[in-house]
Amino acid sequence: MKQLINFGSRIRKLREQRGLTQTALAEKMIISPSYLNQIENDARPLNKRVLKKLELALAIDFTDWAENEDRRASQLRTALNDPLFRGSDITMQELRNTVSTSPHLAERFLQLFQAHQRLQADFETLAESVAGEERIKALHGAQFPYEDVRDFFYRRNNHIEALDHAAEQLCHAEGFATDDMALDLAAYLKRTLGVSVRLTDSGRRERWQRRYDPEAKILYLAKPSSSSRRAFQMANQIALLVHGREIEREIERAGLASTSARSLGRLALANYFAGALLMPYTRFLGDAQRLRYDIESLSGLYGTSFEQVCHRLSTLQRPNNKGVPFYFIRVDMAGNISKRQSATSFHFARLGGVCPLWNIHAAFSSPGNLLTQLARMPDGKTYLCLARTIYESGGSYLRPQRKFAIGLGCEIDHAHKLVYSTGLDLDDTDAVEPIGVSCRLCDRPDCSQRAFPPLSRRLQIDENRRSLFPYAFEGSEG
């Protein structure tokens, strides 16, 4: 585990937050109060045995604690690369110290910076609307509720424990067939809630997949949809009808900024429950580990889609029983991100396009094939990145297919657990491709695909020289 800063004082703070005296905590750990006093004053080194006792007594995973600090420090670094700060020479160690000693200050700073980004985006949208002679009312409600909800899931490490347990308990109690749950869910809705499920093709005209009539207690599902999609929609409705209180408690804890964000949050949590019900945690994680995270095998085993399996894999972060921490992303052909979740420290661009060197773009050139890539981010972390296209039928000839690329990835330390590492030399540094968050946030000097100069570097323009790369800037050799 990475050495944590001010460890003793932070243990003292945790102990006080839990209302424990030194004597009480020492008794729980089966050590002497004087030993604990030395720990809290950083006067005694910790061995693994005592550290494990601390984790059990305080109900905390110090490895997660350290990883969360690294993640927050990386977010601070990204924020400080904004031109608002005219470049930043603050080291990562200084940022880690800040997060360690003043976590609430770091959180407030990031909230302030995100507010600045929203205002900046509003200005850019306004400028575009004026240039295009569009009406200003297009700006109404542009408060990034989707980003607010995504940030909530990011803070929770993409794992909602209460809903995950509730879904797993329901699946076990009812004995649902996990290979094709649609019939079982329809029977459960009728038997337990008096809700009838009806398939209808009217959704084709009205453009919906699910519509619930609370007075008639009828759940209408679009007939052209697949069995896995219908099962997901039924599970979603069960979440809203049966577990509304748990969802509302999570919304209250989330601190979402707007009514729109809270509404989206409820839908996102219902979707989370649905995925957890179709793929119950303990059984699904066991199968994933046994099959070395083979997505297609898991899809066939659980009667779910490729995308559903990838999304579920990114949520398997239950304390004391974790799967591989994955990032999950869905991108369209224009590079727009419509879904992104992460249990890793992988950084996504909040504004603008994503790195063109990332294999998720190449997936559209090789439809249906699963692509692998060893990629290193600017923070030095290397990932095994998977990418594959998916197609969603529009339900009729006059409705074109929806085309997306799904990305799933993990840090290279976990790559050997995946079947997709077969044949790859994970120790070959020459096989690793450098990628970035986005051009504006990446300061790699030798990228031929760069579309914009980095925000954190001043351009160097020499009329008598032409670089091999699109932009020359401070720190490059253009």
Residue entry with tokens 């609370």: 214
Residue type, position 80, single letter: L
Contacts of 202 (CB under 8 A, 6+ apart): 220
Q: How far is CA 298 from CA 277, 385, 440, in A?
A: 15, 18, 38
- Residue whose C-alpha is closest to residue 399's, from 213, 230, 222, 227: 222
Identify the pLDDT of residue 378: 81
Q: How many CB atoms lie within 10 A of CB 2?
A: 12
First to last CA, the chain: 40
- The fraction of the chain above a pLDDT of 90, given in percent, is 40
Q: Where are the beta strands (DSSP E) in 28-95?
A: none
d(CA 354, CA 88): 22
Identify the pLDDT of residue 66: 63
SS3 116: helix
Contacts of 383 (CB under 8 A, 6+ apart): 327, 344, 346, 374, 375, 376, 377, 409, 410, 411, 412
Sign, CA torsion 172/175/181/186: negative
pLDDT tens by residue, 42-66: 777 777 788 788 878 887 776 666 6
Identify the pLDDT of residue 344: 78
d(CA 457, CA 440): 10
DSSP for 79-108 reads: HHTSGGGT-----HHHHHHHHHH-HHHHHH
Q: Which residues of the chain have pLDDT under 70?
A: 1-7, 62-69, 83, 86-88, 118, 121-144, 202-207, 224, 349-353, 394-399, 455-457, 460, 462, 466-468, 470, 473-478
Identify the pLDDT of residue 175: 95
Contact 116, 85 (CB under 8 A): no
Q: How many CB atoms lie within 10 A of CB 47?
A: 8
Contact 382, 432 (CB under 8 A): yes
Residue ranges of domains in the chain, CATH in brackets: 161-303 (1.10.10), 324-431 (3.30.450), 443-478 (no CATH)
Identify the pLDDT of residue 86: 58
CA angle 115, 117, 119 (to 5 degrees): 70
pTM for the whole structure? 0.71
Q: How many CB atoms lie within 10 A of CB 370?
A: 16
Question: Which residues on adjacent β-strands are paired with residue 329?
Answer: 340, 407
d(CA 147, CA 153): 10
d(CA 454, CA 476): 11
**Structure token digits, residue 309:** 């399996």
